[in-house]
Amino acid sequence: MKIASHLKSLDYSVVQQCMHCGLCLPTCPTYDATKLERNSPRGRIALMRAIADDRLDVTKAFGEEMYFCLGCLACQTACPAGVNYAELFEHARAEIEEQRILANPKRNFIRGFTVRWLFMDLRRLELLGKALRLYQQLGLQALVRRSGILNVLPKRLRELEAMTPRVCDKFSAELIAPVTPAVGEKRFRVAMLTGCAQDLTFSDVNRDTVEVLATNGCEVITPPDQSCCGSLHAHNGEWSLGQQLARRNIDQFPPDQFDAIITNAGGCGSHLKHYAKLLVDDPAYFKRAELWDAKVKDIHEWLAQIKIRNPKSETPSPTVVTYHESCHLTHGQKVVSQPREILRVIPGLKLIELPEASWCCGSAGIYNLTQPEMAGQLLDRKLKHIKSTGAKVVATGNPGCLLQLITGAKQQGLELRAVHPITLLAEAYRAERAG
Ligand code: SF4
Ligand code: SF4
């Protein structure tokens, strides 16, 4: 296991690939906001290379810079040299965490509780979700908000409280059977990953995904007890925890037993497809991890691959829809056209292109919690573009983006439905069955 220096032990061909052309700069949201070289991909890569070359120490300023980066990977799409920014970025954050350069008691507590404890066993997260659900269902949250008691909290805590998502009435295991048979002829056997935050806040999207898969001839295996994919851990420098979770998922879903391993969360999929890189030094898992990477499919990608049956009835939702691209679906997985293709086969749905559709909405994992100012600016920019389309529905394939857009619409009092594209497809199939 690499404990020493992540950046120094990284394949040097990755570290030295940047040719400083600057073509990535206009695509970088943080550079766009500040116009400072150090806030650009080129500037960050130069810092990472300086550390790998032993010309620079891992300093607090470097740590803060790497956490100011959204990890949106827009620079990776723009780069003509094929720089693997995702790999550099994850190793840089792992280096920062291992050298404890940003450590302080508050940060250690928050990370210890969330990343190292809560998300390492989803039964704990589910328990917390159930408590929060009860708090919301009993009307206590509304009561506390109305009472004004929250005004005694510091501003940041009040902002965080306002962002608390609505917990679903039922979690995935309560909505989805462990095995869902294919409707009609069985063409494929697939596993479905229900996710962590997705399960608590968008279990209905998981149910819709399973329904759509079954409608298209897939037998779907959805075990009730699943693990986090580990993207939260890998993107936040917890390399060995990310490895642990990757091994757990490979054990639970042996890739040779499925035609595909399906995820409907853009951020998770982008990470799930790179388990082999995470387990490259693990001879017991590496080969299986390579097969796993090949089998992981984003739901839109899989449906395009197997050629879906077009629904015949119109969706009951408003018909004008715009589409926001999740960064990790677009830049991380290069799944760009497939969600649009799915939306276009829904009868009666008119898709209007969103200006700057692939510009980050500010969600970026937990970026909206750690960098609220920058995240807020990006959210305002996104909502301004959505409003310019006139659409009352925005579709997007990632739970983080959905939450961010829902929060933004609520804050601005907008009449806007943020929805996963697969939900619109599932609604069209249901309308067909009902009609
Ligand atoms: S990942 Fe996004 S924010 Fe970070 S350097 Fe690349 S474009 Fe900029
Ligand atoms: S990361 Fe790519 S696009 Fe950006 S400066 Fe380096 S080579 Fe050019």
Asked if 87 and 195 count as a contact pair (C-beta separation under 8 A), the reply is no
What is the model's pLDDT at position 1? 43
- Kindly report, residue by residue over 239-263, the tens digit of the pLDDT: 999 999 999 999 999 999 999 999 9
- Is the pLDDT score of 3 beyond 60? no
Asked if 266 and 298 count as a contact pair (C-beta separation under 8 A), the reply is yes
- Kindly report, residue by residue over 284-343, the tens digit of the pLDDT: 999 999 999 999 999 999 999 999 999 987 656 558 999 999 999 999 999 999 999 999
Nearest Cα residue to 423 out of 342, 333, 336: 342
The band of 2, judged by pLDDT with boundaries at 50, 70 and 90, is very low
What sign does the dihedral 258-419-169-412 (CA atoms) show? positive
Q: Which residues pair with 321 in a beta bridge?
A: 351, 393
Cβ–ligand 2 contact at 15 (below 6 Å): no
- Kindly report, residue by residue over 4-36, the tens digit of the pLDDT: 578 888 888 888 899 999 999 999 999 999 999
Cβ–ligand 2 contact at 19 (below 6 Å): yes
Q: pTM for the full model?
A: 0.92
**Euclidean distance between CA atoms 93 and 274, whole angstroms:** 17
The band of 148, judged by pLDDT with boundaries at 50, 70 and 90, is confident
Element (H, E) at 419: strand 417-419
- State percent of the chain over pLDDT 90: 78
Nearest protein Cα to ligand 2, atom 6:
18
Spacing, Cα 113 to ligand 1 middle (Å): 27
How much is the average pLDDT of 403-432? Answer: 94
Nearest Cα residue to 237 out of 126, 423, 90: 90
| Chain mean pLDDT for the chain | 92
DSSP 83: -
What is the model's pLDDT at position 94? 92
Cβ–ligand 2 contact at 46 (below 6 Å): no
Spacing, Cα 74 to ligand 1 middle (Å): 6
- Say whether 191 sits in a helix, a strand or coil: strand
What is the model's pLDDT at position 317? 58
Nearest Cα residue to 405 out of 425, 429, 375, 432: 375
Nearest protein Cα to ligand 2, atom 7:
18
CA 120 from chain centre, in angstroms, equals: 17
How far are the Cα atoms of 10, 40, 82, 309 from residue 87, in angstroms, in the given order?
Answer: 9, 16, 12, 37
Spacing, Cα 373 to ligand 1 middle (Å): 16
- Is the pLDDT score of 54 beyond 70? yes
Least confident among 153-167, 225-239, 289-303: 153-167
Atom of ligand 2 nearest to the CA of 20: 5
- State percent of the chain over pLDDT 70: 98
- Kindly report, residue by residue over 368-415, the tens digit of the pLDDT: 888 889 999 999 999 999 999 999 999 999 999 999 999 999 999 999
Spacing, Cα 325 to ligand 1 middle (Å): 15
**Euclidean distance between CA atoms 322 and 22, whole angstroms:** 31
